[in-house]
Amino acid sequence: MKKKFNIIGKRKFFFIFSTILMIICIGSLLINGLNYGIDFKGGTIIQIEMHQTFKTDEIREITDTFDESADITYAGEEQTQLMINTQESLNEEQIESLFSKFQEKYDLKGKDLLSSEKVSATIGDEFKTQSILASVIAVLLILVYITFRFEFLFGFSAVLALAHDLIAVLGAYSIFGVEVNSPFIAAMLTILGFSVNDTIVIFDRIRENRRKYKKSQLFELTNDSVNQTMGRSINTTLCVLLAIISLYLMGVQSIQDFILPLIIGFISGSYSTIFIASSFWYVAQEKRQAAKA
Q: Is the pTM of this model over 0.85?
A: no
Q: CA–CA separation, 283 vs 153, rounded Å?
A: 11
Whole-angstrom Cα Rg for the chain: 24
pLDDT score, position 224: 93
Residues of the chain with confidence (pLDDT) below 70: 1-2, 121-124
pLDDT score, position 19: 96
Residue range 43-119, CATH number? 3.30.70
pLDDT score, position 123: 58
pLDDT score, position 1: 55
Instruction: Kindly give, in sequence order, each residue whose CB lies less than 8 Å from that of residue 118, ignoring residues fewer than 6 positions away.
Output: 42, 43, 44, 45, 89, 90
Residue 31 CA neighbour count, 13 Å, CB half:
10
Q: CA–CA separation, 146 vs 156, rounded Å?
A: 9
State the CATH class of domain 8-37+123-291: mainly alpha
Q: CA–CA separation, 209 vs 225, rounded Å?
A: 7
Domain extents in the chain: 8-37+123-291, 43-119
